[in-house]
Amino acid sequence: MGNLCCTCVDTSNVKVIERFGKFNRMAHPGFNVVCCCTGERVAGGLSMRIQQLDVRCETKTKDNVFVDVVVSVQYQVVRESLYDAFYKLTDSKSQITAYVFDEVRATVPRMGLDDVFTAKEDIAKNVKEELQKSMSAFGFQIINVLVTDIEPAAKVKAAMNEINAAQRLRLAAYEQSEADKVRIVKAAEADAEAKYLAGQGIARQRQAIISGLRESVASFSTEVTDVNSKEVMELLVLTQYFDVLRDIGMSGKSNTVFMDHTPGALGNVSSQIREGFMQAGAAMAPGTQQAMRR
């Protein structure tokens, strides 16, 4: 037993057993005996787990903007190529890093800065294809490649943010002006509709007043034979005049109106109304007067 050694291999790992410096066998997970008397020794080990390597690569774009591209490579040792994975490469991570640098610096300089952000999947696909072709000969399988970060210089990021903010402000100003336009147009339409309806109301009101006056004059002339229609009209207009004064006095929001209402003043009001009707009658055509008498 003094000439025997042992080693324990963890799950998802293998160890390389050499005899006098030459590869002899692989020690798989579990308890393994190493015959020291025959010159065997543990030369090293390999992990069978999926490993991830993050590579940060600085390069420039087609429009001469320097960016840092972070590429995450997920790879695994091929179980059938354990010998190649252990003996063909001194440092697998350095080899993968070199291939990532080469492919990123060959792809990104052909793109503009904006295209780099939108073409992340294309960059990752190109890197994966190149790594797969190169690393498969060394016993490694590339599981996936992801472009996890694209970081331009701080000044470039600030300029991009300012451009984006200016575009959004311009869009907000345009939308605000459109809203104001709609508000003004709708207000104008509402005002026009209100004035139209108010005009219709006034026209109907005047039509009703004329119809009422016509009926009053006809009724008064039928029952009282000593007065003519013009005198009846003067009386009705004077009555309406006093109704207006009453409405003004009853309104709490009306202004103060100073008017002379002595008996002589009332006579003047009546004579002014009479003169107004006489002037209107003289200006009217004979056909119009006949129509009003009807």
The C-alpha atoms of residue 239 and residue 137 are separated, in whole angstroms, by 117
How many Cβ atoms are within 10 Å of 123's Cβ, its own excluded?
21
Token representation of residue 89: 């490469």
Q: Is 251 inside a domain boundary?
A: yes
Quick check: 133 and 95 in contact, CB under 8 A? no
Query: Where does the chain have alpha helices with state H?
Result: 82-87, 92-107, 113-118, 120-135, 154-223, 229-250, 263-283, 286-293
Q: Are residues 13 and 88 in the same domain?
A: no
The domain in which residue 9 lies consists of: 4-46
Q: Do 26 and 75 have their domain in common?
A: no
Domains of the chain: total: 3
* Residue 177 domain flag: no
35 and 55 assigned to the same domain: no
- Residue 231 tokens read as 């005198």
pLDDT in tens, the chain (294 residues): 445 678 888 888 999 988 888 888 888 888 888 888 778 888 888 888 999 999 998 888 888 888 889 999 999 999 888 888 888 888 888 888 998 998 888 888 888 888 888 888 888 998 898 888 888 888 899 999 999 888 887 777 777 777 777 887 888 888 888 888 888 998 888 888 888 888 888 788 767 777 776 776 677 666 666 666 666 666 666 676 777 777 777 766 656 666 655 555 555 666 666 666 566 556 655 554 554 455
- Tell me the CA end-to-end span of the chain in Å, nearest whole number: 146
Say whether both 95 and 41 belong to one domain: no
243 domain-assigned: yes
Q: Please give the model's pTM, rounded to 2 decimal places.
A: 0.52
Same domain, 28 and 58: no
Residues 201, 128, single domain; the answer is no
User: Is 71 in the same domain as 145?
Assistant: yes
